[in-house]
Structure 1
Amino acid sequence: MGRQALLTVAHQFQLKLEDFKPLDQRTHQLYRAGHLVIKLIDKTEADIYRKLGDSIELPVVYLDNDVMVMKDLGESLAGRHLTEEQTKRIIQKLIRIQRAPVEVPVYPLDEIERTWLRDLCDELNIDLMTTIDRYYDEMQVKHYQLKLPLVLTHGDLHRGNIFDRSHIQLIDWERAALSSPVRDITMLLQDFATIEEINYYRDAFHQMMPYEMNQTDYTTEFSLFLLVNTVKMLVWELSKYQQGMQNQDETKREVNRKMDILKLLET
């Protein structure tokens, strides 16, 4: 299936198979050829990009049910410290995206991340769940009804999916869904943000929103999505350790940092 999709792209763009250089040695789903990036996808992801195409600026130049070709945007912001000016431009981009009239599913607050984390903690004999369970139960995540408007959200807004050349562009929209306006900002702030930065951008984001929101509802929902996204990142860190992609010291440092973020829920 993958080879046939690459052959199709090669024919469409007058390339040779040897031009395709893998960018992900683990999955072999991502390739670069000249100034193009080729990603092997499935029909579900292709359908999401079709829905987004009329409303969101995407670097896509070719789309089929099993492959997508994008302009090569160069280096992402992965691993870089975001300046205040960059962060506010990303926030402005999010706010513009949120207004897009796109029909995608509603993001479910189904606690699946909590289940994944529990399984990993059991396998690795790590005690995080006492604290995590307390936060989930106190915030009643499973039964929470969103108070803020449903808007279009990216769903995986880490720095590896953000590019800043002449302007901000986002890739990897397969987790796009209708959700709370705070879904994406609480994911973005997972990367290297301090507690002080999280507090600052929580308030800045609220002030930059183009519509009125009750302060209590906003703060509650921000905290809830900060919890959910932090647990999602804890799953990622422990998964990397389990698969030998990250050593014990790095994992311990990142887990401790994530658990420190959750102390914000107690203030």
Structure 2
Amino acid sequence: MTDKASEGLLILAATPIGRAADASARLAEALADADLVAAEDTRRLRRLCADLGVQPAGQVVSYFEGNEAARTPQLLEALAAGRRVLLVTDAGMPSVSDPGYRLVAAAVDEGIRVTAIPGPSAVPTALAVSGLPVDRFCFEGFLPRKPGERARRLAALAAEERTMVFFEAPHRTHAALAAMAEAFGEDRPAAVCRELTKTHEEVRRGALRELVEWAAGEVRGEVTLVVAGAPVGAGVPTTPEELRARVAEREDRGATRKEAIAATAKEAGVPKREVYDLVHRDPRGDAR
């Protein structure tokens, strides 16, 4: 690690998810003082700066999904040279279903200091207004777009006991809710949080079957879905068929065979060897 690297600073700054007035004073100060501002959308950044009455003194560059891989080395060079780099996305906290993780990981590997300016985020906001338990929760981001992949992802979450938070596009909200009702049961409580903090904010609460009916009409705006977790002990795989299916689901999602067996054994509360033996034998009991 060089001396320059130790002087560089990467700042992840949360931006408003709806109203510019929710921006923090620290965000305005950082926008004005940063040596370089990397923004998911430079046009949105200019509008935010105008609303805040701020003029960035440093260079402004784009940093979005399409150029993230190519831009990261350039930003690392600036950080290694001792510059203060501010990363902002269109709304919420960078790296939370937005660009940022790649740069953070690279900066950490280079021994560059990383800090954050906290602020608005759709995840805790939706949890707070959902009316569902929030003492334990997990964030699942966006579901896969393809129906089969989406169904497998949700099937793997059927026994999740924590409240779950998802992001979804408005035109896929109905399909996502219908898939959740299929995987979790139509009576599972949930909430659809639309346009949070904005003028047309709307929170719909109810059983998944009710929300599926509501979403059959046109859904507009930014959508965050909050779904109650499974009752304690519900949906835990116990039969050989269920255990094999759960291992297969995890492998479909990218886990190695070893990882899938270990996770399934922990979920079911059985020894890993038992799951291993089941997976490596065909349904007739013959070793594969």
Interval of TM-score (by shorter of Structure 1 and Structure 2): under 0.3
TM-score, length basis structure 2:
0.23
TM-score of the pair, normalised by structure 1: 0.24
Higher gyration radius (CA) = 2
- Structure that is richer in strand per residue: 2
Name the one with the larger helix percent. 1
